[in-house]
Amino acid sequence: GENVEQHPSTLSVQEGDSAVIKCTYSDSASNYFPWYKQELGKRPQLIIDIRSNVGEKKDQRIAVTLNKTAKHFSLHITETQPEDSAVYFCAASISSGIQAAGNKLTFGGGTRVLVKP
Amino acid sequence: DGGITQSPKYLFRKEGQNVTLSCEQNLNHDAMYWYRQDPGQGLRLIYYSQIVNDFQKGDIAEGYSVSREKKESFPLTVTSAQKNPTAFYLCASSTKSGTENTEAFFGQGTRLTVV
């Protein structure tokens, strides 16, 4: 099955600096890569996602890049703010035209980001 | 908030007891999932269901059981066979746009503690 590795496990940055989180996946058939943010005691929420037909996607201060050949994708947060402090998870899944086929997400181990004022 | 609801928020279980965690969604999503989250770790898939009356084992299904009798509901039973059940349990649901996966929405979670 799919295996997703995520690094680093913790990341401390100064407010205003950039943060980068990297993930690798094992199954070349994976084609959907979402990123989730989980604040303490709360549910994970989608912050950005990318599909395999796109190399990069941006949404304000957040960007994700995908390298299909190397099977890795990264999350970039620019101009970090204290409210960016949270645990971030990458995930991978396989879209299928078969309704009954699994489109389950396999998650990385998470990165705890701390933005210091 | 709303859309996908888990209950209870906190649950205490005595050793040897079965307990059932509730998950209900009103998003009309076909797919539902159960994940387990341990402190400092990622989310591991327990069971998932793509359609009513059908479900598949995830990566850590041993000691758990599920049912999917209704589209809106996907309860998870933690049985006495689960040796280390203390964890945070998250339910999620998703749908498809054509053949493409779409965002998975998560419930608020149930924190299960064995006492």
Looking at the complex, does the CB of residue B7 fall below 8 Å from at least one CB of chain A? Answer: no
List, for residues B38-95, the tens digit of each pLDDT value.
Answer: 987 889 999 999 889 999 999 999 999 999 999 999 999 999 888 899 999 999 998 8
A117 to chain B, any CB pair closer than 8 A? The answer is no
Q: What is the full per-residue pLDDT of chain A (117 aa) written as tens digits?
A: 789 999 999 999 999 999 999 999 999 989 899 999 999 888 999 999 998 888 999 999 999 999 999 999 999 999 999 999 999 999 998 766 554 344 678 999 999 999 999
Give chain B positions within 8 Å (CB) of A101. 50
Can you list the pairs that A47-55 forms with residues at least 24 positions away whose Cβ atoms lie under 8 Å? A47/A88, A48/A75, A49/B103, A51/A95, A51/B100
Tell me the DSSP string of chain A.
---EEEE-SEEEEETTS-EEEEEEES-TT--EEEEEEE-TTS--EEEEEEETT-SEEEETTEEEEEETTTTEEEEEE-S--GGG-EEEEEEEB---SSTTS----EE---EEEEEE-
Kindly report the length of chain A: 117
Helix (H, G, I), strand (E, B) or coil at B6: strand
A2 part of contact set with chain B, CB < 8 Å: no
Q: Which of B29, B38, B43 to mutate to test the interface with A (most CBs of A within 10 A)?
A: B43
Q: Is B52 near chain A, with CB under 8 Å?
A: no
